[in-house]
Amino acid sequence: DVQLVESGGGSVQAGESLRLSCVASGFAGSNFYMAWFRQAPGKEREGVAAIDNAGSATYTYGVQGRFTISKDSAKNTLYLQMNNLKPEDTAMYSCAATGVRPFWWENCNDYIVWGQGTQVTVS
């Protein structure tokens, strides 16, 4: 089965850090365009960060300088290091993958594989 499984979420205080992991199985994540999305209650899902198969990363404006997306091809795992967390970062975070780089990376409709999500709460 092709799947993504996230972990690493939790409840933290503002200013603290978390690292999210997303393990891919059934396909080689390194060959795919992968991204992290988040959705807060009552809000639309938004793109957080994305990375292509060459390791080039892009971020939404509000997390630049605080979040870092990376991947470990040997472990088939995608990461999101989140530093200096703020209450507005509170959301369900999900990883996603697609075989072709989207025209607009933040368009969640272009991603074909999704994880179940991991909750991040910042107070």
Please give the pLDDT value at position 31: 80
Percentage of residues in the chain having pLDDT higher than 90: 87
Please give the pLDDT value at position 69: 98
Please give the pLDDT value at position 4: 96
Please give the pLDDT value at position 77: 95
pLDDT at 26 over 90: no
Q: How far apart are CA 58 and CA 117, in angstroms?
A: 20
Question: pLDDT tens across 39-97, in order?
Answer: 999 999 999 999 998 999 999 999 999 999 999 989 999 999 999 999 999 999 999 99
CA nearest to 71, candidates 118, 18, 33, 111: 33
Q: How far apart are CA 21 and CA 82, in angstroms?
A: 11
SS (H, E, C) 70-106: EEECCCCEEEEEECCCCHHHCEEEEEEEECCCCCCCC
